[in-house]
Amino acid sequence: MTGERILNGRYIVGELIGRGGMADVHLGVDQVLGRKVAIKLLRPEMARDPMVQARFRREAKAVAGLNHPNIVSVYDTGEEDREINGSSVELPFIVMEYVSGRTLRDLHKAGEITVDLAIDYVLGVLEALQHSHAMGIVHRDIKPANIMVTNQGALKVMDFGIARALADSSSTMTQTQTVVGTAQYLSPEQARGEIVDARTDLYSTGCLLYELLTGRPPFTGDSPVSVAYQHVGEHAPAPSSLKTTLPPIYDDVVLKALAKDREDRYADAPAFALALRNARNGIPLPPEELTAILPQETAPTGADTFAMPAVVAETGINTGYLEPVAAEQHWNEQPMWDQGRSEPVDDYRAKSKKAWTVVLSIIMVLALAVGGLFFYNWMQAEAARNALVTVPSLTGLSQAEAESTLTKLELIPKPEDVFDDKVKSGSVVSSNPVAQAQVVKGTTVTVMVSKGPESLKLPTSLAGATEVTARETLKEMGFTIGSVTRKNDPTIPAGSLVGTEPTLGSQVKSGSKIDLILSTGLVVVPQLLNMTEPEATAILADPKFGLKILVQEEVHTVAEPGTIIRQDPESGSTSPQGGTVTVTIAKAPEVPPVTPPTATEESAPQDDSDDEESDSESFDESPDTSFPGVGHRDSWDRGDPFSDD
């Protein structure tokens, strides 16, 4: 298509689907893998700011090392050359996983978040942060707009634009005197421009949970500065004081995450998640963790109260205590029925009253006994039904072993497949609730089972394997089998694997469809006509043909002797692997030899006319037969051979 904007010769830039403070997000298509992607492009007007460019590239570097199902994956990065105001500028971009869904901010505005959903979403965020912190990355901008819920209900944390490595924690949270982050979810140390660590993300997550539960952030104001001031110097009201239908047990969990001093917050994401799960199951935060999250001027002492408070109002007024009552107030008062009596009661009335008292006492004792027994049995049954069970560690177990372990504890296993680069396929990566969490019997425990790495290398060792072996191996790796085609090959037996599409040795996303290419067991015969025997032998012996040669000769008056005039099978046809090609080579016709005449042929009588002519011409030279032993005539000229002379 003309007019398409293509990055790195691979990614087609499509419609705008999102816009942030420094970048635009477009829907894109990866032409190589044929999948939708999200392309985050730095805005042209921001490209000349080195700090912005550094921040943008830091996001790509930070997220590229993270691999978790609750974190948006980064596939690729690069830079695009653009002409801006007559000068060339390099615009960095990030190619990310395309997530179809809505942000928590959108769901919150639509009123679709319940208490249970809020807890589930925050637990998902904490799982993502646990992985991020373990990899040494602090997000620093956790808020509803940066958390996506897919159409399938999965949660994705995105936008690590201001993330920073824990190793770089000495860096402050200000840039050119501007606080980095979003005011409503800013930690006190961020507002003060101090160093950050993993507990900074936990504070922002506490603000997120507060808003999802109550419908508003913990602090609001006319300006970001006023909101930041409240984060530093004021305490948020208890969530249940804003939403009366919210169980107060969540107050302590949220307020601990919002502690001003990070030492008073949860130590890490798993600790926060454990407290949240326990609250859902009716288990409150331990008392020793409460005083640290309360304003010092309202912290209760054991001498003044009978029970720990559930909430303390922002005004400092104690709203959750039982006032002590002196013991003598109960026992030193005169009974109402005896006040003012000045004369004794008659005996009959006294006896009657005593009898009725005894009867009523017996009835009451029996009733109490029956009721007590019934109540005891009911309590025992309820205790057994609601007995807390500790979730065991399942990591490394097979799916079957994990399910069996949970079933024995009267817990309900729910397997869920996830990608993991470290845990082998079929083994448990983690669980939700996590190990050591206490839950009631009958609780559903999600078991995350590894599908192996998200991207796998197709093994080159499959070349030459049988079709059955190739299918089983690829299925065990998590791939699906696509079409099957056949290809001629000189060495691989018929029905065995020649190759695949994508090719063997390439990196392919787990779960992809792999097409098989099997050997026909045949070889295409090459063209041999007009070649010599050595030339044809060398070509057929080449590994790409691997054929034998059988030579025949045939007399031919036209073709050049020694060249091939015919072959069987013909060129372009097929032959079984290792087959024989018969060639016919031209042979010159034989020529009869020329032999000299024999003696008999020389003494044969000549033609009469010739003889006569000869006689007439050589008459004088004929020998004289009258003299025996005399030769030709010329011998006379030399004298008589018999003369004495």
Burial class (CB in 10 A: 0-12, 13-18, 19+), 338: exposed
Burial class (CB in 10 A: 0-12, 13-18, 19+), 486: middle
Write phi, then psi, for 419 (nearest 5 degrees): -80, 140
DSSP 315-376: TS---S-PPP--THHHHSSPPGGGTT--SPPPHHHHHHHHHHHHHHHHHHHHHHHHHHHHHH
Contact, 448 vs 429, CB < 8 A? Answer: yes
40 assigned to a ligand binding site: yes
Contact, 170 vs 195, CB < 8 A? Answer: yes
Cα 92 from Cα 41, distance rounded (Å): 6
Cis peptide, bond prior to residue 569, ω within 30 of zero: yes
Q: Which positions ≥6 away from 601 have C-beta within 8 Å?
A: none
List the one residue out of 454, 506, 490, 497 whose CA is nearest residue 472. Answer: 497
Q: For residue 106, indicate whether it is catalytic.
A: no
Q: At what angle do helices 249-257 and 269-280 cross, to 10 degrees?
A: 170
Query: Which of 24, 30, 120, 141 is an active site residue?
Result: 141
CA distances from 141 to 132, 257, 263 (A): 13, 16, 20
Contact, 573 vs 545, CB < 8 A? Answer: no
Q: Which positions ≥6 away from 557 have C-beta within 8 Å?
A: 588, 589
Cα 24 from Cα 474, distance rounded (Å): 39
What's the first-to-final CA gap in the chain, in angstroms?
A: 128
Where do runs of H (alpha helix) occur along 135-197? 188-191
Q: Which positions ≥6 away from 374 have C-beta within 8 Å?
A: none
List the one residue out of 458, 455, 459, 446 whose CA is nearest residue 421. Answer: 455
Cα 24 from Cα 101, distance rounded (Å): 18
Burial class (CB in 10 A: 0-12, 13-18, 19+), 508: buried
Q: Which positions ≥6 away from 255 have C-beta within 8 Å?
A: 235, 236, 238, 293, 294
Binding site feature residues for ATP? 40
For the annotated catalytic residues, the residue numbers are 141
Binding site feature residues? 40
